[in-house]
Structure 1
Amino acid sequence: MTVDRILPTDEAHDLLDLATELADRELAPKAADHEERAEFPREVLRTLGRSGLLGLPYAEEYGGAAQPYEVYLQVLEILASRWLAVAEAISVHTLSCFPLAEYGTAQQRKLLPDLIGGELLGAYCLSEPQGGSDAAHLTTRAVPEGEEYIVSGTKAWITHAHVADFYNIFCRTGGAGARGISCLLADRNMPGIEPQLAERTMGLHASPVAQVVFDGTRVPAERLIGGEGKGFGIAMSALDSGRLGIAACAVGLAQAALDYAVGYARERQQFGRAIVDFQGLGFLLADAATQISAARALMLAAARLRDAGRPYSIEAAKAKLFATDVAMRVTTDAVQVLGGAGYVADHPVERYMREAKVLQIVEGTNQIQRLVISRALAKG
């Protein structure tokens, strides 16, 4: 189904047209094969990077496209509707560039053109084996020694663990709690960075996650972002933006599932007519279309607040919560529309359903989003 979009500029229209063209040519034909073989699409991401799609929200002086988040998220949605793993990779990469772009010194930001340009890929190392949601009590430690920090600890569930060229490491440089956390930017070639075996996940097989062990990794002190003790604030600020990226991925995935289910229901004949004409299925599809439109509107409303420089943290939590729950519901219903055919890999809806689940978990579980929203309500 064609989505009727209102965009702020002609350039934005052209950008979405480019994203659609690349998604149809470079993503859609390759998704099923790469997912089956669990092969990370590094060359696809390089192609998107060279086309300018890996640095959309960042300033042109650093190699970005200086696009509003409202536009960036719609590009992400289009890519996710063809191949979620690629859209999620871009969302994580954009998240990984955020600390340096927003909190780095002028000297540090000289690294940004290489990071944003597409030839390099980032990883965001916050979660740990014993603590994902409770980030304030992470245990990875960085000890100053001369002009370096010596980093030791283990990070978990790291997207791009094996393929990243740079890592944001959130680590403890001070005492207990949030105030003792700092952010370091490490290069892949620094000794002591040891990605572990990839996890055996339910979905997103082409985008494996793994633990990353930092075994006495020496990171130059000049790679400290924002100053000691500022890491937790950086992490939370980055996640506000990252949650919008996941919301966009969820909307795109849900739209793909709905489009496929509608196409199937139009063609599938039972009792002498197309099954889309049966009210039980027709109403299910109508509800799905309505929920997707609502999720998209919520996501874009939060993005416009961000673009206007206004507080948007709570709206980002709402968008992530609602959009990912919608994606789970719509992909499950799409499998139901196809019946037995939906349960086999000949059709993509079974993959969509498996992929939707992780979106309710990453960038803060949906239970955490509810906690964030409810606390804001309690404060008034």
Structure 2
Amino acid sequence: MNFSLTDDQQLIQETATNIAQSVLAPVASTVSSDRPLFLQNLKSLAELGFMGLNINSQYGGSEVGVVAFSLAVTEIAKACASTAVTVSVNNMVAEVIESVASDAQKENYIPKLCDGTYAAAGFCLTEAGAGSDPAGMRTSATRDGDEWVLNGSKLYITSAEYAGLFVVWAVTDKHAARGRGISCFLVEADTPGITIGKAEKKLGQHASSTNEVTFADCRIPAAALMGQENQGYKIAVTELTGGRIGIASLALGVGFAAIDYATDFIKERQQFGQAIAEFQGIQWMVADAYTELEAAKLLTLQAAYFKQSGLPYSKQASMAKLYAAETANRVCATAMQLLGGAGYVEDHPVERYLRDARITTIYEGTSQIQKIIISKHLFA
């Protein structure tokens, strides 16, 4: 088994590392209050090809594959988790369009997602009563001549404030069995009838906006339907599976950033006449953290490789997301413990890493949902 990266994968990883450390990291703690700077960083990433890593070059994508995507998100997340989640979701939306959209839809929208014309894209699936259970959504789309009329609200939509395009799921056949009457639409953000709610005040990932998106008699052309009518639930489930690789990669980056910082800190911090790092108990804490992160990394890259190779990867993606997210949370807590009181104050980034990591066990499917998916595969 060859664990070596290809030349393209190495180049993507190195480029991501360079821009993450030189551009993103220096402003990661303050960019939440500087929206123009955050958007400029996204534009810079788009110009380097990071907004469409697994997208065909004919649509402006980098066409470097899922493994390179995973590596890039990890490196970006080491510097700024808010930027990393925006990159991950944008790639996910571009992929769903490339996968199921018409040729006209692909040619119209994907290049704008890849080149930064759209600062980002939004994935409008979650509702107040349809989070872990998307089949329970209430947002509706009613056909009216050559148009569809959208009504309903979506919650916790990443990048909603500055998204140029939304992929929206809505019920198109209220009489169909659960999950069988849902369709998928491409909706431009400036369409009349769309209201973006206030930014949620969150525990972490502050620079990434999270908003409610409301559709009130929002009229979109019949051509906005993506894929087949009433087949949207399958699209959502498939794309969430791929999105879990992105979140696993993000969690890895945050976890590595936290323990890297803590390790450097304890090499310098003196207690009882020696560096903290010289105590065996402390060394074991660090050894456990890196071992678990490396295991999570292997699971994540395996899932990415399976997807890239066209192999079934649902179980692998859920395992990667589950383990990487839970590991990142444990490692960030360990990093804070290693810094002691210093880890609890904003002078050091560890408290931010801990806050940023927490959501990874929740979005793109909670840890508990991942266990259900894994179990279904094991007991099928």
State the shift of 1:38 in Å. Answer: 7.5
Q: Is the 8 A contact 2:141 2:150 kept in 1?
A: yes
Partner Cα separation in structure 2 for residue 292 and residue 314 of structure 1: 19
Comparing 177-186 with 13-22, which one deviates more in the overlay?
13-22
Instruction: Give yes or no for contact 1:39–1:207 (8 Å, CA) kept in 2.
Output: no
| Residue aligning to 1:361 | 362
**Would the alpha carbon gap of residues 294 and 123 (structure 1) be closer, same or farther in structure 2, given more than 3 Å must change?**
same
Aligned partner of 1:48 in structure 2 is 45
Deviations 1:81-112 (A, max 9, x none): 01111111000111122221100122221122
Q: Is the 8 A contact 2:54 2:95 kept in 1?
A: no
More moved, 40-49 vs 249-258: 40-49
SS in 1 for 2:311: coil
Secondary structure of 2:170 counterpart:
strand
Deviations 1:149-179 (CA, angstroms, capped at 9, x unpaired): 0000000010011110000000000134111
Q: Supply the distance in 1 between the matched residues of 2:265 and 2:227 (Cα, whole angstroms).
A: 52
C-alpha displacement of 1:6: 4.9
CA distance in 2, matches of 1:186, 1:355: 29
CA shift at 1:310, angstroms?
A: 0.6
Q: How does 1:270-285 map to 2 (within 5 A)?
A: 270-285=271-286
Describe the SS at the equivalent of 2:55: coil
In 2, distance between residues paired with 1:143 and 1:82?
44
Q: How far off is 1:15 after superposition? A: 2.0
The 8 Å contact of residues 203 and 354 in structure 1, kept in 2 or not, is answered as yes
Identity percentage over the alignment? 38
On the 8 A contact 2:8/2:64 being kept in 1, the answer is no
| 1:147 counterpart letter in structure 2 | D
Q: Does 1:81 align with 2:78?
A: yes
What one-letter code is carried by the residue in structure 2 that aligns with 1:125?
C
1:115 aligns with 2:109: no
Q: How much does 1:282 deviate?
A: 0.8
Q: What residue identity is the alignment partner of 2:25? A: A
Aligned counterpart, 2:196: 195
What secondary structure is seen at the aligned counterpart in 2 of 1:161? coil
Shift of 1:19: 1.2
State the alpha-carbon separation in 2 of the partners of residues 202 and 143 from structure 1. 37
CA RMSD of aligned residues (A): 1.4
Residue 171 in structure 1 maps to residue 189 in structure 2: no
Query: Map of 1:288-367 to 2, 5 A cutoff?
Result: 288-367=289-368
1:71 aligns with 2:68: yes
The secondary structure found in structure 2 opposite 1:346 is coil
Q: Are positions 1:248 and 2:249 aligned together?
A: yes
The TM-score with structure 1 as length reference comes to 0.96
Matched, 1:376 2:374: no
Contact 1:151 1:214 in 2 (8 A): yes
Q: Does 1:161 align with 2:185?
A: no
Give the corresponding residue for 1:12: 9
- Is 1:227 aligned to residue 228 of structure 2? yes
Counterparts of 1:116 and 1:217 in 2: how far apart (Å)? 26
Helix, strand or coil at the partner of 1:28: helix
Runs of at least 5 residues in structure 1 that lack an aligned partner in the other structure: none
Task: Quickly say closer, same or farther: Cα 1:37–1:339, change in 2 above 3 A.
Answer: farther
Q: Structure 1 residues 220 and 7, CA, compared in 2 at 3 Å: closer, same or farther?
A: farther
Runs of 4+ in structure 1 deviating by more than 2 angstroms, as ranges, are 5-9, 35-40
Report the Cα distance in structure 2 between the residues aligned to 1:116 and 1:140, rounded to whole angstroms.
28
How many residue pairs are counted as aligned between the two chains? 375
SS for the counterpart of 2:195 is strand
Q: Which residue of 1 aligns with 2:20?
A: 23
**Structure 2: where are the runs of 5+ without partners?**
none
Kindly state the Cα deviation for residue 113 of structure 1 after the two structures are TM-superposed. Answer: 1.3
CA distance in 2 between counterparts of 1:78 and 1:303 reads 15
Measure, in 2, the Cα distance between the counterparts of 1:116 and 1:236.
Answer: 23
Deviations 1:315-369 (A, max 9, x none): 1000000000000000011000000011111100001111111010000011100
Rate the CA distance shift 1:39–1:63 in 2: closer, same or farther, 3 A: closer
Distance 2:102 2:146 in 1: 17
- C-alpha distance in 2 between matches for 1:93 and 1:36: 22
SS in 1 for 2:379: helix
Name the aligned partner's letter for residue 117 of structure 2.
Answer: E
Query: Does structure 1 conserve the Cα–Cα contact (< 8 Å) formed by 2:88 and 2:246?
Result: yes
Normalised to the residue count of structure 2, the TM-score between the two structures is 0.96
Counterpart residue number, 1:90:
87
Task: Report the AA paired with residue 116 of structure 1.
Answer: C
